[in-house]
Amino acid sequence: MPTQFKGLSAFPITPADPKGRVDTAAVEKLVGRLAAAKVDSIGLLGSTGTYAYLSRAERRRALDAALPVAGDVPVLVGVGALRTDEAVKLAQDAKAAGAAAGLLAAVSYTPLTEDEVYEHFVTVQRESGLPLCIYDNPGTTHFRFTPELVRRLSRHEGIVGVKSPSPEAPGGTAHLAALRAVVPEGFPLGYSGDWNVTEVLIAGGDAWFSVMGGLFPHTALALTRAAQGGDATEARALNARLEPLWALFRELSSLRVMYAAAGILGLTQAEPPRPILPLGESARARVAETLKALNLS
């Protein structure tokens, strides 16, 4: 199994100025921390990395900043775009920069059919030569990958994994079993959705694509290792301890909380891209209090 699709894949924010110019020094700092923590992979330009708000040129600048400091840690790169030809170019950029794989979401304005999404993925992979991970993110794209569509794509050489949102327990175990039944043996099945991921990792999910891990890799690694190492009691205890953070994620969005947390930690003072507004003073104070109480690392 490719190492980038097992264990902890940590997803940092992509600091940029109000005009959308990436702060490469901040990207290097964030990615360097993850590499030093020895995460299993780094998810650059994911949804937490606000890929949809950045131009192709700025995405490439982020790549060029991140890849050298990632060292031996595989980097997965978001290559989603509305148009297939644009996604091809983004995937070509990621391959040229040395990315291990691309994360491709079914980004759309007009709702897409399963056949359209299938052709989109096959074309991007074939024309770029970059291995692709299916990025199922229905909360953003309003398209959900069915087990049948995952089955079709998993048979295509170059489609090498899937990133699914973690359903609330006990739905995660059933979702994992449904996908396992249709994909080739060894095809990696990973999950996002930090506050629901523990049970699906315990059930055998291959990877945690983690928002929290983008700033607090050691804490995320501890939970991942416990869950995947068979210590369900420890994994559940660690997850329960993190409930104050999960509550903030659910209420305020993980993206806004991570931008606030990065500022509180002194890693960057960048704000989310407009029209997303940064947290107000009261909410930011709650984030600071939660981080202090949890003593994350």
Contact 170, 142 (CB under 8 A): no
Angle between the N-to-C axes of helices 147-154 and 171-180, in degrees from 0 to 180, rounded to the nearest 10: 40
Other C-beta atoms closer than 10 Å to the C-beta of 210 total 28
48 is in an annotated binding site: yes
β-pair type (159-165, 207-210): unpaired
DSSP assignments along 237-289, one per residue: HHHHHTHHHHHHHHHH-HHHHHHHHHHHTTS----PPTTSPPP-HHHHHHHHH
The whole-angstrom separation of Cα 289 and Cα 292 is 5
Q: Of these residues, 135, 191, 259, 292, which one is catalytic? A: 135
- Residue 53 known to be catalytic: no
Helix (H, G, I), strand (E, B) or coil at 5: helix
- Residue 135 known to be catalytic: yes
Q: Of these residues, 51, 163, 191, 259, which one is catalytic? A: 163
Annotated binding site for pyruvate: 48
Which residues are known catalytic residues?
135, 163
Annotated binding site: 48
